[in-house]
Amino acid sequence: MKKILSVSLLMFVHSAFAFKDCPECPEMVTLADGSFMMGSTSENNSQDYERPQHLVNIKSFSIGKYEVKQEEWFAVMGNNPSSNKERSLPVENVSWDDANLFVQKLAKKTGKKYRLPTEAEWEYAARGLSTTIYPWGNSDAELSDYAWFSANTDATNPAGQKKPNAFGLHDMLGNVWEWTQDCWNPNYINAPSDGSPWINNECSERVLRGGSWDNDSQGLRVAIRSGFATDFRYNVIGLRVSMTP
């Protein structure tokens, strides 16, 4: 498969609150406005497609506390495409087209503005105000405390079993890759600086973030990214929802 698909917790208490719009809806966390440096420098084993690092200003939005679970997917879509089936596991084996249809149906069901997160929103949420390789620091020594990856599992695991980041979000790294709104671009030259999705005229590939249970520690760096066709499905790919206030 192309690209790379195969500190203790910050002492910062984020003023976020969790909510659900319906019993079967994903639990959401609202994040405040903020700014951060997106991507990587030329150090830290980064790739060309993670650069240049650039300042992004984010407006308040809500994002799933967990990756979308199979029971939540089934409640909206009436099916379960996952290879490893169990209601509390993250849904997987979903394409970008599938994920986009899910958020559209969820929005119609609730009357709220559900959508996929933009790539910038995703990284802002994953970092939890950190500026390091991982949300807790530059060492992968604590990775097993926060993520499911190739060193501690050989399959998906129930959502929320690992420690959350400083924003109270679970499994931002590992378990399953997560689709974003953005088209795939080979670098961040001319990328939006306002947190909006980067959409091109020809958008045959969309961006995935976060790594999965099948990746090693290098594949779970917070800046890592990948891109695949919008109809591509695999058992390491899922989603996390976002919402505009």
Q: What is the CATH number of the domain that holds 90?
A: 3.90.1580.10
Instruction: State the residue range of the domain holding 185.
Output: 18-244
Inter-helix orientation angle 70-77/96-110, to 10°: 70
Residues 36 and 130: their CA atoms lie apart, in Å, by 9
pTM, 2 dp: 0.93
| Per-residue tokens: 127 | 């970092």
User: Does residue 4 lie in a domain region?
Assistant: no
* Strand partners for 227: 207
Count of the separate structural domains present in the chain: 1
User: Does residue 5 lie in a domain region?
Assistant: no
CA distance to 36, 50, 116, 189, per residue, from 21 (Å):
29, 35, 16, 37
User: Does residue 1 lie in a domain region?
Assistant: no
User: Does residue 213 lie in a domain region?
Assistant: yes
Burial class (CB in 10 A: 0-12, 13-18, 19+), 12: exposed
User: Does residue 206 lie in a domain region?
Assistant: yes
User: Does residue 8 lie in a domain region?
Assistant: no
User: Does residue 107 lie in a domain region?
Assistant: yes
Tens place of pLDDT per residue across the chain (245 aa) = 444 443 333 333 444 578 999 999 999 999 999 999 999 987 666 788 999 999 999 999 999 999 999 999 999 999 999 999 999 999 999 999 999 999 999 999 999 999 999 999 999 999 999 999 999 999 999 999 999 999 999 999 999 999 999 999 999 999 999 999 999 999 999 999 999 999 988 899 999 999 999 999 999 999 999 999 999 999 999 999 999 99
- C-beta of residue 39 within 8 angstroms of C-beta of residue 54: yes
User: Does residue 222 lie in a domain region?
Assistant: yes
